[in-house]
Amino acid sequence: MNLIAPSLLAADFAHLDREMEWFNRSEADWLHLDVMDGVFVPNISFGFPVLEHVARLTEKPLDVHLMIVQPEKFITQVRDLGAAIMNVHQEACVHLHRTIQQIHEAGMKAAVTLNPATPVSTLEDIICDVDVVMLMTVNPGFGAQKFIEHSLNKVRRLRQLITQSGSAALIEVDGGVNRTTAPRLAEAGVDVYVTGSAVFGKPDPIAEVKELKLLTS
Ligand code: DX5
Ligand code: ZN
């Protein structure tokens, strides 16, 4: 599978309506939304008032990536946005199994994200309960960072774990995804490609999405 999920973090926030207009006309599959709290990551992005505005501007599935401590406190608010996927960090959830259950009870798909230093093996006991595993391919908190090469091995190990366990989880990657890294990630077994600076701000973002789609097919 090759789904493209543009990350709004790289958008022009003064013109969100315009950004969403090209996004809706593009071949993009999901909209990736990065929420930061200045505690879990050393940056603050946007919160629910902005998300509510954006959610009204698209019919495409929303992938809400919570880079915050105690994300379980916000399950209802994320559900009320109409989000399709609620994405929490393994490192931020003390009771990850319970949080996944609660996300499912709220009617959303559950995605679990790993920071670059967190091993794939930490998911062995819940791999059959999650819908998506997202690997951070940069350290979370900022857009336009350099892709961490070691991530390719990690994707291969995650693909092995998913195959061996019979899990149906999709593999998503976030950070430094562009025309160069995307085909290499595809070969390693990725399903969903988050991409910020490689599409937003480009002269023809629709063409960039199309190109990434082709390069990963
Ligand atoms: C980083 C965010 C990413 C970011 C990716 O913490 O989670 O989604 O927007 O940006 P690029 O694609 O520019 O690396
Ligand atoms: Zn993200």
Query: CATH no. for residue 113?
Result: 3.20.20.70
User: Average pLDDT, stretch 8-21?
Assistant: 98
What confidence tier does 152 reach under pLDDT thresholds 50, 70, 90?
A: very high
Sequence-ordered list of residues with C-beta below 8 angstroms from that of 190, at least 6 positions apart, any chain = 2, 155, 171, 172, 173, 216
pLDDT at 188: 98
Indicate the DSSP class of residue 44: B
Cβ(149)–Cβ(125) below 8 Å:
no
Establish whether 174 is a catalytic residue. Answer: yes
Are 24 and 213 within 8 A, CB to CB? Answer: no
Tell me which residue range forms the domain holding 135.
Answer: 3-216
Ligand 1 atom closest to residue 141's alpha carbon, by position in its atom list: 6
Structural domain count of the chain: 1
pLDDT 10s digits, 113-127 = 999 999 999 999 999
Q: What are the pLDDT digits (tens) for 28-50?
A: 999 999 999 999 999 999 999 99
- The reply to whether ligand 1 has any atom less than 6 angstroms from the CB of 32 is yes
Instruction: List the catalytic residue out of 29, 63, 131, 174.
Output: 174
Under the phi-then-psi rule, with left for phi > 0, alpha for psi from -120 to 50, and beta for the rest, what region is 99?
alpha
Residues with CB under 5 A from ligand 2 (ion): 34, 65, 174
- What is the token pair recorded at 72? 């379980």
To the question of pTM greater than 0.75 for the whole model, the response is yes
Pick the catalytic residue from 29, 34, 131, 191.
34
Give me the pLDDT at residue 47, please.
Answer: 97
Rounded mean pLDDT of 72-100? 98
Is residue 205 in contact with ligand 1, taking CB distance under 6 Å?
Answer: no
Ligand 1 contact via 176 beta carbon (within 6 Å)? yes
